[in-house]
Structure 1
Amino acid sequence: MIDNLLDSAKQVLNGNFQPKGFSIPCDGLYPFQWNWDSGFIAIGFSHYDFEKAKSEVKTLLDAQWSNGFIPHIVFHNESDSYFPGAEFHKSELSPYAPKDHKTTGLTQPPVLGFVLEEMYHIHKNKDEVLAFVKNHIDQVFNCHKHLYEHRDPKNEGLVYIYHNWESGTDNSPMWDEVWETMTDIPTYEFERRDTSHVDASQRPSNQEYNYYLHLIEIAKAHNYDDAKITELSPFLIQDPLFNAMLIKSNQALINLYEIIGGETEKINTLKAWNTLSKKSFNDKLYDKELKAYIHYDLRNDRPLRHVSSSSFSPLFASVPDADRAKEIIDNLMTVFGKEEFYLCASFDPNSDKFNPKKYWRGPVWINLNWIVFHGLKSYGYNELATRVKNETIELITKNGFYEYFDARKEIHESGSGGYGGNNFSWSAALLIDLLKKEN
């Protein structure tokens, strides 16, 4: 069975790899290159086609802005199957945007640091992978530098996101409270393309899209200037998932620079960022009553007190000490680990906002499960990590390589619990990685 799954996963990845050297997440629904998708895809390719893995990272970094910013979408090709496209985002408004690539002015969780380290560990030819790392590691460092210098207005070591799409958890119930603070939002005229590919009940609403577009319009009005966004955007969130990925990637860069040698100044800078970041993470983003890491609304100076799969991502970055990790993991099992649910739902199943079919409002996502799996392993919770791994494999075995999955076990008896895009790249890539890893 494992060999069949591996072959199927490789077919998905190979089918989504484009002639220009990048992968689409899936056909139709997502026709361009997405930032953190490409990172996870590169991990999968590293197990069997390292040239494609390298190309995945290189094509993304080719579109890096001159100030270090790495965008969340690169429009390598023309397509009318996705909105909003390049003509809406207008990255050329920024003087830092590349002249030869159309992109968005948003980013996504910064995974490339630990992706490079995963590639180094996976690929057998260490000289080949190290040569590739040497050529690109400074680009990733410059991205981190940009984030800390332009998105941390209080010098806390916690960077903000200015759009929910930057979180990666697009329509999480987390943002409902933020939308309530945004008044006089225009009603935009637009044609949704996503709902022509998948059931509209599984996707964000049109009203949510009005908020999404409004945030982009504010950034565009100021040519994507970070200082103006900091001053004016109604959406400034310190996100535990985004910051955990940054901390994890900082540590990966430290490890890789130490292998390369001769980069003491950058190593010391990365260590300083992580020391401050972890302290602020634990002081500000840990909710002792909820026993979970939460989001913080920087614009309105208030915590957003909800538990989501993002709450457990700091385990992956070694943010909590052992005692706090145990508290978090016990809570994971109490809130998300009931027998009737697969681990790990993207939002608190006990909440009245939980929706197990709707995008990031409740379904299980393979990339977050992969992050939680590694986090559990790093603290020695091997049995629970194995459960997350096995349930992830079971979801794909029963349904196929979907974008996300219903968290309720009963739904999968008929093989109809997979939602969103099918033949989804990171579901295939991370399944390959999980199958190749020993428990």
Structure 2
Amino acid sequence: MNEELYKKAIAVLDANFQEGGFTIPSAGLYPFQWKWDSGFIAIGFAHYDVEKAKAEMRTLLDAQWENGFIPHIVFHTDNDSYFPGADFHQSELHPLSSKKYRSTGMTQPPVTGFVLQEMYRIAEDKEDMLNYIKEDIDKVFENHVYFYENRDPQNEGLVYIYHNWESGTDNSPVWDDIWKTMNPPEYTFVRKDTTHVDASQRPTKREYDHYLHIIDIAKQNNYDDAKIAELSPFLVQDPLFNAMLIKSNQALIELYELIGGNEEKIKTILKWQAKSIKSFNEKLFDAELGAYVHYDLRNEKPIRHITSSSFSPLFANIPSPERAKVLVKTMMDKFGGDDKYLCASFDPTNDRFNPKKYWRGPVWINMNWMLFLGLKNYGFADVAARMKHDSIELIEKYGFYEYFDCRKNTGEDNTPGYGGNNFSWSAALFIDMVNTD
């Protein structure tokens, strides 16, 4: 293990930890608390500072709304260096929103269940960690109740996202065809992200018009889920989002069994799981592509593109062993060339692929971490080892960046990492990966 790099990873996390008990993803670029970032960050902290790991999750769950919803950004501080901020989102429009924290009115992938389980796995003092989990686990359960009661209009066990930011994969080429169905107004605003990062690596101004328009529709309806399901031009069943929900369901079952006395909740989750996994396999698997795909619920059709999200079901134990083999073959055929690092965020053989632009092609450490664990779980030891090796090599070469070029030879003398530097989840999951055989 590279001891210097390990120390640097710890220094990155400690520097980004804030007085309010949460960690910013990256100084300057992302000055608030993000939901899925916080989950991955807590896993890193659990290896060396258990109290910070607990604080991270406690603070996130403290921002939960009365209906179980957990927002994707919690605005703990007044900071005008990020757009769109609290004044644009107006979470207070929803009658059950948090009275304590301003936030967005959208969510992010439901990582909290499996994060609590990872914290328990890592903890040396299991009793202490289980006592902490007992305090917060019901909030995670309530979050899952929210999803199944409010985000599954067809009662099929698959929940929708109403905004691309809810997916976590913000500007993926998957959404391009949805933008073609929309014609939002031209918004006038000052972008803050492009003052920190090269604009060519970020979503375009016109893409932002689409993003803001969807939020405006939600705001006009006070973030009412039923109204959003009826009116939002963006309504998608995302394999990554649903895989994380299924993974977190399983984690809740196992944690509730450890705690004891939660038979009714376990029964409820088992019902969700049976329906969710069946629908996931029947509706989201594309046999011709050999991968799971997104489903456009607004226009009732699959979105037939292969992304790193297409392989995320491995992390949640969703495919059969036979289907897992098909997934891994697709991954290696399209994403696994000797000239590339695993795993690009979008199909490198597709003409929409862009190796530098956010979620249109670069490698992301959080996705690689999930795929590494999923491959390991299914017994693909060699591919898992490569996923881990490639992730660590990128960090060793370029540092703790937000995302990385998947090409081993870019034709440039010194290809940097992209996005935010000293990025928290890259540091946190590096710590976990080097501690995982």
Measured against the shorter chain, the TM-score band is over 0.9
Aligned residues: 437
Aligned-residue offset at 1:156: 0.6
Equivalent residue, structure 2, for 1:290: 289
Q: Is the 8 A contact 1:399 1:412 kept in 2?
A: no
Tell me: CA distance 1:219–1:403, structure 2 relative to 1, closer, same or farther (3 Å): same
Q: Partner letter of residue 97 of structure 2? A: A
Distance 1:422 1:253 in 2: 33
Q: Aligned AA for 2:222? A: N
**Does structure 2 retain, via aligned residues, the 8 Å contact 1:363–1:405?**
yes
Matching residue of 2:104: 104
Q: Contact 1:36 / 1:111 at 8 angstroms: preserved in 2?
A: yes
In the alignment, structure 1 residue 222 sits paired with structure 2 residue 221: yes
Match of 1:180 in 2: 180
State the match for 1:352 in structure 2.
351
Q: Deviations over 1:257-288 (max 9, x none)?
A: 00000101110111111111110011000000
Which residues in structure 2 correspond to 1:18-33 (within 5 Å)? 18-33=18-33
Tell me which residue corresponds to 1:167: 167
Residue of structure 2 in register with 1:150 after alignment: 150
Quote the Cα distance in structure 1 between the aligned partners of 2:253 and 2:416: 40
Query: Deviation of residue 416 (structure 1)?
Result: 2.4
SS at match of 1:361: coil
- Structure 2 match to 1:69: 69
Name the structure 1 match of 2:368: 369
The Cα of 1:5 is off from its aligned counterpart by 1.4
SS in 1 for 2:362: coil
Residues 30 and 433 (structure 1 numbering): CA distance in 2 closer, same or farther, change over 3 Å?
same
Give the superposition deviation at 1:412. 9.1
Q: Which runs of structure 2 are paired with 1:233-252 in the superposition (5 Å)?
A: 233-252=232-251
- Cα offset, 1:99, TM superposition: 1.0
Which residue does 1:59 correspond to in 2?
59
Residue 82 of structure 2 corresponds to which residue in structure 1? 82
CA contact (8 A) 1:312 1:372 kept: yes
Seen in structure 2, the aligned counterparts of structure 1 residues 241 and 229 have a Cα distance that, compared at 3 Å, is same
CA deviation profile, 1:51-106 (whole Å, cap 9, x unmatched) = 00000001111100000000000000111110000000000000111111000000
Q: Which residue pairs with 2:93 in the alignment?
A: 93
The SS at the match of 1:411 is: coil
Q: Report SS of the residue matched to 1:348.
A: coil
For 1:379 and 1:331, locate their aligned partners in 2 and report how far apart those are by CA, in whole Å.
15
Letter in 2 for 1:290: L
Name which of structure 1's ranges 357-366 and 408-417 shifts more when overlaid on structure 2: 408-417
Give 1:369 shift: 0.2
Distance 1:274 1:422 in 2: 38
Q: Which runs of 5+ in 1 are unaligned?
A: none
* 2:317 corresponding residue in structure 1: 318
What is the rounded CA distance, in whole Å, between the counterparts of 1:357 and 1:345 in structure 2? 10
Aligned to 1:303: 302
Q: TM-score, normalised by structure 1?
A: 0.99
Cα distance per residue 1:217-275 (max 9 Å; x no partner)? 00000100001001100100000000000000000000000000010111011111111
Could you say which residue in structure 2 is the equivalent of 1:12? 12
> How far 1:23 moved relative to its partner?
0.3
Q: Distance in 1 between matches of 2:403 and 2:8?
A: 17
Counterpart Cα distance in 2 of 1:101 and 1:412: 47
Alpha-carbon distance between aligned partners in 2 of 1:331 and 1:353, rounded to the nearest angstrom: 18
Counterpart CA distance in 1 for 2:412 and 2:253 is: 45
Tell me whether 413-422 or 31-40 shows the greater mean CA deviation: 413-422
Structure 1 residue 414: Cα displacement: 4.6
Query: Distance in 2 between the 1:281 and 1:122 partners?
Result: 30
Per the normalisation by structure 2, the TM-score is 0.99
Q: Separation in 1 of the partners of 2:318 and 2:192?
A: 39
Amino acid at match of 2:398: N
CA distance in 1, matches of 2:92, 2:128: 35
Kindly state the Cα deviation for residue 4 of structure 1 after the two structures are TM-superposed: 1.1
Matching residue of 2:127: 127
2:419 alignment counterpart: 420
Q: Which amino acid aligns with 1:428?
A: A
**Equivalent residue, structure 2, for 1:50:** 50
CA distance in 1, matches of 2:2, 2:66: 44
Matches of residues 374-389 of structure 1 in structure 2 within 5 Å? Answer: 374-389=373-388
Match of 2:407 in 1: 408
Amino acid at match of 1:181: T
Query: 2:40 corresponds to which residue?
Result: 40
Paired residue type of 2:55: S
Amino acid at match of 1:263: N
How far has the Cα of 1:415 moved from its partner? 4.6
| In 1, Cα distance between equivalents of 2:404 and 2:383 | 20
- Misfit runs of 4+, over 2 Å: 411-417
- Supply the AA of the counterpart residue of 1:358: K
The one-letter code sitting in structure 2 at the alignment partner of 1:309 is: S
SS at match of 2:348: coil
Q: Which residue of 2 aligns with 1:136?
A: 136
Q: Is the 8 A contact 1:398 1:412 kept in 2?
A: no
